[in-house]
Amino acid sequence: MKIDPDSSAGLSAQIATAIRDAIISGALIVDERLPSEAELADQFDVSRPTIREALKRLAAQSLIRTQRGAFGGAFVRHLSYADAREQLVTTSTLLLSMNDISFDTACEARFALERACAPMTAARRKPEQLAIMRNEIARQGDPDLTDEAFCASDVAFHRALVDGAQNPVLSYQLSGSIEAMQPLMNMITFTARSRAEIVQIHTDILVALKDRDAELAMTILERLEGVTKRLAHSVMDAKVLAHEDKARADTSHVSRNRS
């Protein structure tokens, strides 16, 4: 593991990258104890505070864990898909909110991935995934459920759909496209009519997966994509009209005051 003193990257960042690369390559294995701070400082020819900063970077990436006591130190951490999933969702959510990505583009990506996953879910789904989907459908039928809670339930329903494929890599990858859309979905005000339509579609998806009918499940998911886009555009259009009405009212008010 080496660093370049002339590099524009900070020393702690270079050290963290070097250790991360050693973990990825298998040179450092899970639960292996890293050299002490003093040993790492000698190895990289830097100060101990620089090593501490590098270790903090690695801990933030869930690549190492620290342990106190006589047998303590920094150890290579087993990174689970559950650990990585949360980081992916956070990153994906930020990407969608901070970049010029249209709702339709995000929606298209999400449902394209879900439809690709549907055949595996139809073939491999277990009773626990069907039970989660059934429970979320019941929850969505509660008239007192807030819009935000309805969207959260929608995420849970589709997460169970994806998890039914029994493929942790797919579950990890799709979490970014499904859960990251929740803030976008929260902007939609679901009327009683639109909720009933979504609940019925979710029910149809559940029945298709229960019957292991992959083609039908994909067709229904395509229909749900259309409904989701339609609802989003109706809200967006209403907000534009409200903004235009307010702007006209403000202009009229200013004109009257000047008169």
Token pair of 197, please?
């339509």
Confidence at residue 186, expressed as pLDDT on a 0 to 100 scale:
79
**Distance (Å, whole) CA 69 – CA 149:** 44
The pLDDT score that the predictor gives to residue 242 is 63
The answer to whether the Cα torsion of 122, 126, 127, 132 is positive or negative is negative
Q: Which pLDDT score, from 0 to 100, does residue 243 have?
A: 67
Q: Is the pTM of this model over 0.85?
A: no
Least confident of 31-35, 77-81, 125-129, 157-161: 77-81
133/160 Cα distance (integer angstroms)? 6
The tens digit of pLDDT for each residue in 190-220 reads: 888 899 999 999 999 999 999 999 999 999 9
Which of the four pLDDT bands, split at 50, 70 and 90, describes residue 256? low
Average pLDDT over the chain reads 86
Helix H or strand E segment including 131: helix 127-140
Residue 188: which of 239, 249, 245 has the closest Cα?
239
Q: Note the pLDDT tens digit of each residue in 30-77.
A: 889 999 899 999 999 899 999 999 999 998 888 888 888 777 889 998
Cα torsion through 115, 117, 120, 123, rounded to 10: -50
3-12, 41-50, 103-112, 134-143, range with the lowest pLDDT: 3-12
In contact, 133 and 122? CB cutoff 8 Å: no
Portion of the chain with pLDDT greater than 70, in percent: 87
| pLDDT at site 233 | 86
* Of the candidate ranges 78-87, 115-124, 210-219, 249-258, the one whose mean pLDDT is the lowest: 249-258
Residue type, 236: M
Q: What is the DSSP string of 145-201?
A: --HHHHHHHHHHHHHHHHHTT--HHHHHHHHHHHHTTHHHHHT----HHHHHHHHHH
Mean pLDDT value across residues 1-27? 81
Nearest to 206 by CA among 116, 107, 127: 127
Q: Are 163 and 149 in contact (CB under 8 A)?
A: no
Mean pLDDT for 216-229 is 95
Element (H, E) at 75: strand 73-76
Contacts of 126 (CB under 8 A, 6+ apart): 164, 166
The answer on pLDDT for 140 being more than 70 is yes
Cβ atoms 172, 87 nearer than 8 A:
no
Percent of the chain scoring above 90 in pLDDT:
43
Judged against a pLDDT cut of 90, whether residue 160 lies above it is answered with yes
AA identity, residue 129:
Q
